[in-house]
Structure 1
Amino acid sequence: MSQSPFVHQLSAQEASKQNFQAYGQLIKPVDDGKLYDTEDAQLILNRGIPRFYIMRLTANGRQFKRITRHLQCTQCLGALGGKSWWIAVAPPAESPHPRLEDIQAFKIPGDCFIKLHLGTWHAGPYFETEYIDFYNLELSDTNITDRDTCNLQSIYGVACEIL
């Protein structure tokens, strides 16, 4: 009989361009006609066929035992309908798993999207409504060939929960 994992609680902070920069970019609306600059999403999508789609996710609480990264592309996520949501992230690293103390949680406002840096560990999106439709930009085979997942329960004996 296996024991329940210890729950490592993560207090979510409101994402801002400054506090999210180690993990990716927070992209907010800009006026039409603004020229391209470093405030725009800095994408890496040249290692395959880009895929932009809307995925419907159903609520599944805010607890997770696994965290994933993509090493071949950046990923963009945003909620349709202006709904806020949560994500847990850890910075890119050479290690085959993130350090537990590096995992942070953020509340993402509904008026923007995030771009995750290449190799950023992430778990989520999480939310409280029955479902949310998210737009997702990644490669067409990201979830088949570029999904490096760490089992936090096996490595650290924990499940993480976003507060």
Structure 2
Amino acid sequence: MTISKIRQQIQAELITTENFQAYGQVISASQDGKGFDYRDAQLVLDKGTPRFYIMRLQKRGKKFHTITRHIQCTQCLGALAGKDWLIAVCPSNNQVNEPELAKMKAFKIPGNCFIKLNVGTWHAGPYFNHDVVDFYNLELSDTNVTDHFTHNFLNSHQIEFEIV
């Protein structure tokens, strides 16, 4: 017996400080010399060695069926070369091992800012329509080894998502 999957579309909304607040922060350019305040990325990187690197992603499209979270650190992502991109997120809910489908949202992120994901925020992406996008990524050096929890919606709900 074959179980068919359902494709569910998620409408991406343009990211703003207000609509992304439950998931993290939107960080935009500020004047040089400005003092540190709440508009700066509020980082949690004290449980290991921070790692800042550039990852090259190719032809990601806009479909996904897995979502990941990190419960030891925040994560910052931003595209180089001013390219726009997409991400799907669910708020942190560290008491359970599954994201809340009703709270999943997708955002379009312009290439002139970056995002900081709160500790535990579920995220799928980055996704984009470009051939190649280089992203900078700030997390811990072992995040993808020791702090990488993934939920598979095909296994749990027979759902694949598409960001539109």
TM-score (norm 1): 0.98
Change beyond 3 A, Cα 1:131–1:4: farther
Number of equivalenced pairs: 163
Q: Secondary structure at the match of 2:60?
A: coil
Q: Secondary structure at the match of 2:43?
A: coil
1:135 aligns to 2:103 (yes or no): no
Q: Which residue of 1 aligns with 2:51?
A: 51
Identity across the alignment (%): 56
TM-score (norm 2): 0.97
Per-residue CA deviations over 1:31-87 (Å, capped at 9, x if unaligned) read: 000000011000000000000000000112111010000000000000000011000
- Is the 2:84–2:109 Cα contact (8 Å) retained in structure 1? yes
Q: Secondary structure at the match of 1:89?
A: strand
Q: Secondary structure at the match of 2:81?
A: helix
Q: Which residue of 2 aligns with 1:65?
A: 65
**Matches of 1:22 and 1:59 in 2, distance apart?**
29
Q: Which residue of 2 aligns with 1:151?
A: 152
Q: Structure 2: which amino acid aligns with 1:23?
A: Y
Q: Which residue of 2 aligns with 1:112?
A: 113
1:84 aligns to 2:114 (yes or no): no
Q: Which residue of 1 aligns with 2:16?
A: 16
Per-residue CA deviations over 1:116-150 (Å, capped at 9, x if unaligned) read: 00000000000111110000000000000000100
Q: Secondary structure at the match of 1:7?
A: strand
Matches within 5 A, 1:26-41: 26-41=26-41
**Matches of 1:36 and 1:4 in 2, distance apart?**
51
Unmatched 5+ stretches in structure 1 = none
Unmatched 5+ stretches in structure 2 = none
